[in-house]
Amino acid sequence: MIVTGFIFLKLQDKTGELKWSGVVLCGGVLLLPSAVIVMLGVLTQQKFVKSLDVAGVKSSLGRRFLWENLYYVDHVSKITRVAGVTRKTEDNQLELIFADGKAIIPPLIYDRERIWELVNSAPAQVKFDGESKTEQSQISATNFDEIAKAMGEIKARHDQNK
């Protein structure tokens, strides 16, 4: 309310004429919420996985994570509350935790079950909502080769369906 009054005063000078400084101030105030929303979107999107290959994971903004630096895979559940009813969606998304950051595989992706299965077969600790369920295994190049081959097959099928 105070900002609106201040802008109104800035829009007019003593003679009642429109002032450009007021117009710029009003435009800046109106652009501020949309700029915040865009920045939050960019910051959130940068952690999403764009592609998986033999070397590692590439995020949507081009950041590269190597399989050798993978600490663990975390299956994250989603809890929703609607009208006093709490629901838990098991295995909503995967978070791949690396030495140099985190990458997220969102729930709505093409051939989700197969990708989940491939990532779980990677030689790293698997957690469910942050709790460990299995022991960490030895890193083997065979698992990464299998993942890369399967990802190539999935991509080929996806390209054929376009």
Are both 98 and 136 inside the same structural domain? yes
* Residue 84 scores a pLDDT above 80: yes
Domain assignment present for residue 140? The answer is: yes
* Residue 109 scores a pLDDT above 70: yes
Domain assignment present for residue 38? The answer is: no
Are both 24 and 70 inside the same structural domain? no
Range of the domain at 10: 1-30
Domain assignment present for residue 148? The answer is: yes
Are both 13 and 52 inside the same structural domain? no
What's the pLDDT score for residue 136? 41
What's the pLDDT score for residue 105? 86
Nearest Cα neighbor of 114 from 64, 60, 52, 66 is 52
What is the total count of domains within the chain?
2
Are both 25 and 51 inside the same structural domain? no
Are both 11 and 54 inside the same structural domain? no
Are both 76 and 11 inside the same structural domain? no
Are both 128 and 155 inside the same structural domain? yes
Domain assignment present for residue 36? The answer is: no
Mean pLDDT calculated for residue range 72-98: 85
Mean pLDDT calculated for residue range 89-110: 84
Domain assignment present for residue 71? The answer is: yes
Q: Lowest-confidence range among 74-78, 83-87, 116-120, 129-133?
A: 129-133
Are both 59 and 87 inside the same structural domain? yes
Are both 15 and 86 inside the same structural domain? no
Q: Lowest-confidence range among 9-13, 99-103, 151-155?
A: 9-13
Are both 56 and 86 inside the same structural domain? yes
